[in-house]
A and B are shown apart, each in its own frame.
Chain A
Amino acid sequence: MREVAKSMLGFSWAVSLFGFQQLSKVMTASPSQSPSLTVAEVEEVSRAVQSHLFGAAAMQFRAGDEWQRRLVDVIFDAASMQSLDPRRIVAALDPRTLLTDADPRKMVQTGVTVIRQTVDRAVETVKQSAAAVTPSTPSNPA
């Protein structure tokens, strides 16, 4: 548990610093800092995270990612006046493909299961700790 705690904190620390670094790079963009380099760095970290996803989580990630990418394309196209075809916009924003692949019922179910198991583990740990500190009943000398 100790090592997991250290690894989780290390992971959060690395990701936070990375986010802060990328943000400062974007905000203070200089001619020497190529935007494609920033994209490549973010993609590299994303790939590392994705390599650890499997099963339902991997599928849900892919569905969500594809949908957000379509959404970004539509917004940028609209903003740059490249495409104002409402049918294309509606098709891109259609959440049905997302809902089919990601299956919200499964997502909710997973979430509920995680919460239930977390509570179970917490209760179990508290019970074990309480048992450890409670003095045992003295045996009857008779």
Chain B
Amino acid sequence: MHVRELTKSALTLPWAISMFGVQQIANLVSAPPSAERMAGAAKAFDEVADATAEQLDGWARQTYHVGSGVQRTLVDLMMLRTPAVDSSALMRMMARMQSGPLFQAVMRYGMPPVGWVDSLLVPRKDAGAVGQEFANKLHIITLVTQVHSQLGLHGDAHTPLLDLVSKAAELETFPRLWAVEGLGNYIGDQALARGGPVSGLLTDPAVALLPPWSLTMLHAGIGMSFAKHVLNRLDPASAPDAVRAAIEEFAGSCHRSSRDGYAGAALESLGLATRTLYPNLVLLLDRHLPNVAPELHGYFWHGAGRAMYFDPMNMLPSVNAPWRAIRRLDDEAPHDLARQNVLSGLAWALTVVNMRQPIIMEAFLRHHGELASADAAFVDGVTSALLMRYDTTREDAHIMPFVNYVPRDGDPALAALWKQLITVPCERALTDDYAELSEGRRLEQLFHYRSVH
């Protein structure tokens, strides 16, 4: 019976599509031409395409979204127009695809040659540093997207969090950092999938024995999960009440699941998720945050700064040295609080990602030394990132060599700048600030701009 029905349906569909095509073409070519008719035809094609895409799943849905984006860009280019790219949709599409084999293959085999060719556009003096920075970013994207397979995380498995953290502890120091953040994101997603208000994820007695080194990144991870959950409901036209409710829900979830002194690490992820996945919502949230959750405002922009560093548009070697993200600082940050936190977040990400190769920070200071020494937010970002690394993976062999690095450039001014902006503040942070923040249960302060140094 099913085969018979399937045959009928399979014959009905092409017949309907043929009639639909003829009708739309007749409509389009009938005189006189009208913009209204064109818009009507485009709408009809879009509606049918959307209804069809709704029925696609797995690889077919991914392929549809990729192909659709590519063909729209190609049509724009053929008609000599700037492609209308919705970066929010593009980023969400990439986020959906990130665990798929296509995305992994592109990251592993497609992007490195692209980066190499692109680095030929960079002056020789900077090429090594920005090429390495590009490779580091790709490495991190690969690490973040492989967390599930690395730690054996599956939706139906119920491995205790303590065991998963022990598993992560076996990884090398650098992948461990991202694995633990991914783990936080995973337990957040699991809790949200169960429904109802989320609470106690990291305060429950069952997880009381979590090692202290895992706490900051676990908090950052659950924050990321909560942020994605509430942002999914918003769009630039959302009513003020909906935006306020989303912020309140996010802040509430973070506070209910965070330990004393760690909530900031979770709250910061709202800025990271918004600027990465929904850049068209950044200014909307900025307008409401001071009234709904003022304590979140600085964290939000710090996260946005981190996201700016990882923005795919700022990724290729040729848009760095000088760094495009720095050029866009004033355009993206609408006020002082935002600017300081964005710069701090950018410096934070730059330090964490490239600590193993100080030549990258050296190249950065060569181009932006003036800005870095003029604004305390840069030093804040570097020292906070260093303390976070020290707190989570203090046995890492790259921490002290980074602090005491002497630029190879041979320029005494650059060497003095390194000492002034990196060595001295980082040594002071390690000897004084860390103990104060750690013992005072205030490590969350590392996730926003602290004006006192």
Contacts and interface: CB of A to CB of B under 8 A. Distances in A.
A6 B74 CA distance: 9
Given A61-B15, A72-B4, A48 B48 contact: yes
Contacts of B44: 52
A7 B49 contact: yes
Contact of B13 (A11, A20, A42): A42
Given A4-B41, A5-B75, A14-B52, A117 B10 contact: no
Interface stretch (B55-63, B208-216, B309-317, B442-450): B55-63
Instruction: Identify the interface centre among B24, B51, B55, B81: most chain A CB within 10 Å of its CB.
Output: B55
A46 B16 contact: yes
A42 B75 contact: no
B192 interface: no
Interface stretch (B27-35, B130-138, B323-331, B362-370): B27-35
A72 B71 contact: no
B85 interface: no
A21 interface: yes
Contacts of A84: none
B48 A72 contact: no
Interface string B33-73: 10000110111111111111111110010011001100110
B60 A21 contact: yes
Given A3-B39, A42-B13, A68 B22 contact: no
B2 interface: yes
B29 A118 contact: yes
A15 interface: yes
B19 interface: yes
Given A3-B39, A50-B16, A72 B8 contact: yes
A49 B67 contact: no
A101 to B, nearest CB: 13
B5 interface: yes
B438 to A, nearest CB: 52
| Centre residue among A5, A52, A60 by max chain B CB count within 10 A | A52
A11 B60 CA distance: 14
B23 interface: yes
What secondary structure prevails in chain B residues at the interface with A?
helix
A68 B15 contact: yes
A66 to B, nearest CB: 10
B20 A36 contact: no
A19 to B, nearest CB: 8
Given A10-B46, A118-B25, A45 B15 contact: no
Contacts of A94: none
B8 to A, nearest CB: 5
A35 B126 CA distance: 60
A33 to B, nearest CB: 11
B2 A6 contact: no
B71 A68 contact: no
B193 interface: no
B20 to A, nearest CB: 5
A38 B9 CA distance: 10
A109 to B, nearest CB: 11
Contact of A44 (B6, B31, B55): B55
A106 to B, nearest CB: 12
Nearest to A119: B29
A68 B45 contact: no
B45 A4 contact: yes
Nearest to A64: B15
Contact of B19 (A21, A48, A57, A120): A57
14 contacts: A3-B38, A7-B42, A10-B68, A11-B48, A15-B49, A17-B52, A22-B10, A39-B6, A39-B9, A42-B12, A49-B48, A53-B23, A68-B8, A120-B31
Q: Which 3 A-B pairs have the closest CB atoms?
A: A48-B51, A7-B45, A35-B2
